[in-house]
Every structure is written in C-alpha cells, then in structure tokens.
Structure 1
Amino acid sequence: MQVSPTNGIGADRPVNAQDPFDLEILANPYAFHEELREAGPIVWLEHYGLWGMGRFEEVHATLNDWQTFCSSAGVGISDFRKEKPWREPSILLEKDPPEHDRARSAMTKVLSPVAIRKLRADFEAFAEELVEQLVAKGEFDAVTDLAEVFPLKVFPDALGLESGERDYLLRYGNIAFNAFGPRNSLFEESMAEMPEVAKWINARCDRAKLSPDGLGAEIFGFADEGKITEHEAGMLVRSLLTAGVDTTVNGIGCALRSLAAHPEQWAALRDDPTLVRNAFEETLRYDSPVQTFFRTTTRPVDIGGVQVGEGEKVLMFLGAANRDPRKWENADQFDIRRKAAGHVGFGSGVHGCVGQMIARLEAEVVLKALTKRVHTLELTGEPTPKLNNTLRGWAHIPVRVTAK
C-alpha cells in the first residue's frame, strides 16, 4: 500500500495496487481484506482506477445512502451511463427510488412473511428426506449432493418453474454475478455460455410456462393489476432465479464448510438446535456468499477526509466489512453463539436482498434436518473453491457424517 495525493483536493489518499479480482485473492480474500481495512476508510484501487472500502462503518453507510451512492449506474464495474450493459438493468438492483419502489413493493408482497411460512412444510419435508439419504451414504459432497440439490428443488418449485434441466439456473447465476466484475477470464468463460443459457431461462420465465399457483404467477398478477408491466414481471421472475439460487447454494455450502472445519461448533449446534438461525447469520458474516457490490457517486463526498468526486465508482467489500474488528470482537473466529445480526451479508437499505427470508428459511431447515440425524460432521479432504467475481462459494466440500 502507498499514499498519493487526491488530485490536489483534501487529505492524502491511500492507494492499493493489487487486483482484487485476481484469482488467488478471490480464492482466499481475507489477507487482502485486512490490508484494505487497515489502509483507511476508503482506498484508491489503482489497478482499476476506482475506489474501494472494506470497513463496516463506511460500507454500511454507503449501502444506506442511495441518494449519494446510486445503483442506477450499475452495481458492477461498468458505468451504465457511459457504456451499454450486456443485459437490461435489473429493476430491483439497478434502479433507484422512486423508479425502484414499484418493483420492490410488488416483491415485498409476494415474499411476505405469510407467504414464506406457507413454504416451510414442503421445504422441511424435502430437507429431511434428502438428509436421510445422505446420512445413509456416510460420505458425500456437501455442495453437489446437498447445497445445490436442495435450493434447485424447493425454490424453483415455489416459483412455479417446470422441472428438468435446472442446472441451467446455476450457470445463469454464475454468468450474472461474474458480469459485475471486470472482463477477466471468469467473465469471458461464463459469457461464452450466455446464448444457450439465456434461451433456456427466457423460455422458462414465460407466464405460460409457470404454474398458476406459484410465486411467479403472483408476480404476473401485479402486472394484471397495472402495478408493474408485463415485461417487468418477467424481469422480476428472472431476477429471483438469478439471485435466489446461487446465493443460497453458496450460503448453505459456506455454512457446511465452516461447521465441518470447526467440529466444536458443529457439536454446539447439534446439541442445541435453537442455534440454527444464529449459525447461518454467523456464516453470512464470517464467510459472506456475496463479497462485493459497486455504487456510483452522485455528488462530491468526503469519506474520512478523502474527497471523492461525482460519478466515481466505489467498490464495497461486504466480506471485509463483515470481518471488521472495529465492529466484531474476534472477527476472524467462527462462533455460532455470536450475535451476528447487523452484518451486511444481504446488503442493507432500500436495495437489501428482497429474498433474504427465503434464503434464511432454506438454510434453517437444512441445518435443522442435519442436527436431527447427524452426530459428527467432518471434512475428508480440502474443499475446492468456486471462483466468481462477486460470489464466494465452494465447488466441492467432501464430508463424512455419522448418524445419531
């Protein structure tokens, strides 16, 4: 890290020359995160010519100030005001109030607490069935046999998506979240799949293809009422399929990896299943599935004595903020008894994750099913990271379990 002038304005600015999207950093970001946090409240990322922030206070404040740090210029590295996006901007993530409010209002009603409660019984039944099968095997891959299988079944079912070929959802999410980052090898490799994957997604999100009693049909119902357009309804269904699968797969995978790597934490959860919700919140803090998002300044702003100009990209490191020792005691320790509420794993403010309650429900029923049937949970090999420009997750987590 070095220090250089801020274009002649204000105090000196800290500068970091590393590429935060380097594959080695994506595989293990935490040393870089510490360097970023300790450099200052905001740091010039020289490799891309934009700002980065890793401290909790500044990240949280930025997420909650859409007037100064807008999403409408894109929540990735591209500035939609200067270049054409590869896809139509998301009306949930990449619109600001008041334009954002119509879509958000519709989704809040579709994903209300009452609606989520109605899903619990079906989610629990499948979780217990799946866990029973895996316990019988003894050894399995916690990602491909559990963390992927469960969300790919229950969430698309709830949405009303027809069955079959649902691995396309994982491929689509991988493309979408890689596209928030730079045009590196991850971006290029995933975008090569885009024509095939987009064709599948668009066909499945058509109103006629969705079951009449699913969440997708409810979204189109708001179009019938004139609250959103037919086109926007289709976009919202696709948005849920983008954000509602990969992030949950990674969240469950990160939870299982952390619990298997810390057997004393698994023992505590097994012996006290009331800690299930705590365990998932601690996972979101400790090993955040969503690592980064961008904002763009709408006016000049002072951050910790550094002057940031109008129209500049700011990269928020959510994973770094969630391990900030200024906010969390023993921040690098995984502790399921910690009160982790207040983390930014699901974002915060008006653009906070609209489907977070479904993600929490899915993780809760999976972990609870495991506590009923599993005595020991241990790694049998080194987990393999799944690299993505935005998400943190695992391609493989080999584990062994013993039955209660």
Structure 2
Amino acid sequence: MPGVEPPCVDAPALTLDPFALEVLADPLPADTAIRETAPAVFLPAHGLYATGRHAHVAAAFRDAATFSSAAGTGLADIRRGQGWRPPSILLDTDPPEHDAARRVMNRVLSPRALAGLEERFAAVAAELVDEACARGELDAAGIAERFPLTVLPDAVGMAPEGRDHLLPYAALNFESMGPPGALRDAAERGAALGAGEWATAREYVTWQMRREALSDDGIGAAIYAHADRGDITEADAGLLVRSFLSAGIDTTVLALASVIHELARRPEVWALLRADPSRLRAVFEEGMRLHTPSPVIGRTTTRAVALDGVTLPADARVLLCLGAANRDPRRFDGPDAFDAFRTAGAVTFGAGVHNCVGQAIARMEAAALLGELVRRVERIEPAGESVPRLSNWLRGFASVPVRLQEAR
C-alpha cells in the first residue's frame, strides 16, 4: 500500500522499506531507525506500523488479546483470503481457538517425548562432522543445512522420497509472508518445479501431511494419535504436520550457520567451549540474538493501544521487529557485541501463548551438531567472507566458508 497516510498522527512515518533488497542485504540500519525513532513508527511503503524496542515487542507477544494473530502473521490479511495457503491452526489463531492445537504440540514436543531423539541426532552429527573434518575446508552453511534437513524429517516420520521439495516449500512459505517482488517470485518458481511423482512442492507437502505417508513411530504419528483421542480433528492433525514441514527447517539452518560464523571469528570463545561445553546453549542463544533467524512477525491490533505515548489504532497491522529488539541498548549492554556470558532475555523464540513451539527441538539440534564440532575440532577459522541470505522473512547467511583443524 505505497503512499498510505498514517491514521495515527503521533506515530512518525519512516520512508524506509524494510523489504527492499538493499535493506535486506544490510538490515541493521533499518532496525536501528525503527527502534530509535519512536516506540512505534508508520511505514508508508506497506501501510503498517512497526515496533522494535524490546519492552514493546515482548509485551505484544504476551498480549494476544490485543496483538492478534488471527489475521495472519505476515503482511497478507488472511481474513480477506490473501494467504497463499490455508491458515495455520497454530500460528494464525488466538485463544481459545488456538488452545487445543497448542496443548497437543506441547505434549508431542515435551522434553520427555523428545528424549529418544538425542541419540539419533548425535549419530547424524557425528557422520557430518566426520565428513567436515576429512575435508578441512568447507562451507559451514552446507552442514548447517544438511543436519536439520536430515534429522527433523526423520523425527517427524517422513518418507525418504521427495524430501528435496522441503526447502522450496519452506522458501515459498517465508517469502510469501513478505510483499510481492523478486524474492517471492523466485520462491514461487522454485516451488513450482516438480520432482519424482510430485508436480510441485505444494503437491508433495499435501501428500506428506497425510497419516498414511508417515511412519508409526514419529512426531507426525504422535500428532495423529491426538486426533484419534478426539483432542483435535484429523484435518487439524495434518495442518500441524504441515507446520513442521514449512517452518521447522530454515530457521534452524540459519541459526546454526550464524553461530558457526560467529565462533569461527572468536577463537577465545571456541577454546572456552572446548574447555566447558556446558556454555554451548548460552553461546547458541547469543548467536541467534545477534542474527535473529526470524527477525519480524506480524500482528493486528484488536483495539487502540498506546506504546509509551504512541497510540496504535484498532485493526492496525503491526510488524514486531525481533531483530531490532534483540539489539536494543535499553535491554542489553553492548548490544552489537557477541558475549558468551550474556544472560537470557532475547525475544528470538517469541513469548506468551505463541512462543515458538519447536524451540526445544531446535536447541536439541544445536546441542548435537555444535557439540560434536566443539568436541572434534581443535580450531575453526574463516576461510572467506560469509554471504548473507536475502529473504523477506528470514535472516542469516547463505554461505559461511570455514577451515577446520581436527583435534588430535
């Protein structure tokens, strides 16, 4: 909605477009402008508001009654049929409609339910690190991609055939959260390419969502078991499986690659981790704070609401800028520095009823892969410049060249 005037006169308008390619290539200045100009700003390029201060983003996450997800969490208003796929019963609903699906996922992804995955994750991590050490020099973005693309589909219970459709489908999911343009067009083309018996990535995912396509011992089967008990419908179970296929891989890929990017440039932190692997989770969280894999998410106000003197009107689309909030100097000392001893506080996984349901499994993946790297690799260093990934709705690196020296 270019050129739209702000209906709220006390929210200053910023002419920047956070989805312009040049901004996506270097997003920190835009994050800073959104965060430091005012508690909330209006972005005429898209006819929406944005807030980037930690306190406001965290409060919005915890107030689903005011900052609703029911209109969708991207730029499109799914109430008007603008979404490219059926709404997610997990992401695109609010309580009480959201509650049943959330209870199911909390049970399916509880620490007790996931405990059996650790050994399987460790075995895949050992195999990939073996290969990495044998090569010595590699693109760490590759190993960061291969690991989740192997272990998560295995954990869900997916059939082995057709998995090459997962990344194109996920790309379409994330690029479609943003505006029309080159990135979205490229994702549409990628998802339209067929392979094997499936004409498109959408067709593959529709096939893979079915109970019959899943093994009887994975997360997918556990979700369908709740349909058998009447906790959710059969159709809802399929939509929850779809959520894994569309949202659970790319974010973890980018998180792993970003942390490796930081560690390759900090030999003192690598040495610290080798001496004390218990610091690994804090280091993983810090890497995601600096390079938030999901840097924005949308909400819609259900009423007029004030953010420190700036009033947002009812039914306003608001962009919560997690990447900006995670570098807010009001919340973090030295917010642009990597601090292996920083305490928790980032909003990387959201908060409240819509906090990331898959965060436990993402942390398990990180513990397995990064833990194996720390155990096996004496020294890691850059072997070239990392290349950012351009995306409407994701942030991180498409390439992270590194050089490894295996421990003897």
TM-score in terms of structure 2 length: 0.94
Q: Given the superposition, is the C-alpha separation of residues 402 and 8 from structure 1 closer, same or farther in structure 2, using an over 3 Å criterion?
A: closer
CA distance in structure 1 between the aligned counterparts of 2:328 and 2:46, rounded to whole angstroms: 24
Asked whether 1:375 is paired with 2:348, we answer no
Gaps of 5+ in 1: none
1:47 is paired with a residue whose SS is coil
Paired residues, number: 396
> How many percent identity over aligned positions?
46
Match of 2:214 among 201, 210, 217: 210
Gaps of 5+ in 2: 193-199
Residues 306-362 of structure 1, C-alpha deviation per residue, up to 9 Å, x if partnerless? Answer: 2211111000110110010100000000112211x2211111110111010000000
CA distance in structure 1 between the aligned counterparts of 2:34 and 2:213, rounded to whole angstroms: 47
Asked whether 1:197 is paired with 2:194, we answer no
Matches within 5 A, 1:158-177: 158-177=155-174
Whether the 8 Å contact between 1:36 and 1:43 is mirrored in structure 2 is yes
Compute the displacement of 1:268 (Å): 2.2
Residues 33-53 of structure 1, C-alpha deviation per residue, up to 9 Å, x if partnerless? Answer: 112111011011121121011
CA distance in structure 1 between the aligned counterparts of 2:278 and 2:312, rounded to whole angstroms: 45
CA distance in structure 1 between the aligned counterparts of 2:159 and 2:57, rounded to whole angstroms: 39
Q: Partner amino acid for 1:362?
A: E
CA distance in structure 2 between the aligned counterparts of 1:80 and 1:288, rounded to whole angstroms: 25
Compute the displacement of 1:262 (Å): 2.7
Residues 231-289 of structure 1, C-alpha deviation per residue, up to 9 Å, x if partnerless? Answer: 11111001012111111111111111111133332232223211111111111211111
1:363 is paired with a residue whose SS is helix
Q: Given the superposition, is the C-alpha separation of residues 23 and 84 from structure 1 closer, same or farther in structure 2, using an over 3 Å criterion?
A: closer
CA distance in structure 1 between the aligned counterparts of 2:185 and 2:6, rounded to whole angstroms: 33
Q: Given the superposition, is the C-alpha separation of residues 193 and 403 from structure 1 closer, same or farther in structure 2, using an over 3 Å criterion?
A: closer
Match of 2:195 in 1: none
Whether the 8 Å contact between 2:165 and 2:191 is mirrored in structure 1 is no
Whether the 8 Å contact between 2:322 and 2:347 is mirrored in structure 1 is yes
Match of 2:115 among 117, 120, 137: 117
Q: Given the superposition, is the C-alpha separation of residues 7 and 209 from structure 1 closer, same or farther in structure 2, using an over 3 Å criterion?
A: closer
Match of 1:239 in 2: 243
Match of 2:106 among 105, 108, 125: 108
CA distance in structure 2 between the aligned counterparts of 1:7 and 1:205, rounded to whole angstroms: 42
CA distance in structure 2 between the aligned counterparts of 1:300 and 1:53, rounded to whole angstroms: 15
Asked whether 1:326 is paired with 2:326, we answer no
Compute the displacement of 1:154 (Å): 0.9
Match of 2:285 in 1: 281
Residues 162-188 of structure 1, C-alpha deviation per residue, up to 9 Å, x if partnerless? Answer: 113423211111110111111121112
CA distance in structure 2 between the aligned counterparts of 1:165 and 1:221, rounded to whole angstroms: 24
Match of 1:185 in 2: 182
Compute the displacement of 1:7 (Å): 4.8
Residues 340-390 of structure 1, C-alpha deviation per residue, up to 9 Å, x if partnerless? Answer: x22111111101110100000001111110111111111111112221111
1:375 is paired with a residue whose SS is strand
CA distance in structure 2 between the aligned counterparts of 1:231 and 1:193, rounded to whole angstroms: 27
Match of 1:155 in 2: 152
Asked whether 1:346 is paired with 2:349, we answer yes
Match of 2:139 in 1: 141
CA-atom RMSD in angstroms: 1.5
Whether the 8 Å contact between 1:77 and 1:181 is mirrored in structure 2 is yes
1:163 is paired with a residue whose SS is coil
1:48 is paired with a residue whose SS is coil
Whether the 8 Å contact between 1:6 and 1:306 is mirrored in structure 2 is no
CA distance in structure 2 between the aligned counterparts of 1:8 and 1:321, rounded to whole angstroms: 22
Match of 1:262 among 266, 269, 280: 266
Match of 1:220 in 2: 224
Whether the 8 Å contact between 2:7 and 2:313 is mirrored in structure 1 is no
Q: Partner amino acid for 2:11?
A: R
CA distance in structure 1 between the aligned counterparts of 2:392 and 2:63, rounded to whole angstroms: 24
CA distance in structure 1 between the aligned counterparts of 2:8 and 2:376, rounded to whole angstroms: 63
2:78 is paired with a residue whose SS is coil
Match of 1:71 in 2: 69
2:116 is paired with a residue whose SS is helix
Match of 1:311 in 2: 315
1:377 is paired with a residue whose SS is strand
Residues 13-46 of structure 1, C-alpha deviation per residue, up to 9 Å, x if partnerless? Answer: 2221011011122122112111211101101112
CA distance in structure 1 between the aligned counterparts of 2:7 and 2:75, rounded to whole angstroms: 22
Q: Partner amino acid for 1:142?
A: A
Matches within 5 A, 1:33-52: 33-52=31-50
Q: Partner amino acid for 1:250?
A: L
CA distance in structure 2 between the aligned counterparts of 1:264 and 1:160, rounded to whole angstroms: 40
Compute the displacement of 1:83 (Å): 3.9
Runs of 4+ residues over 3 Å off in structure 1: 5-9
CA distance in structure 2 between the aligned counterparts of 1:263 and 1:167, rounded to whole angstroms: 35
Whether the 8 Å contact between 1:50 and 1:313 is mirrored in structure 2 is yes
Whether the 8 Å contact between 2:8 and 2:313 is mirrored in structure 1 is no
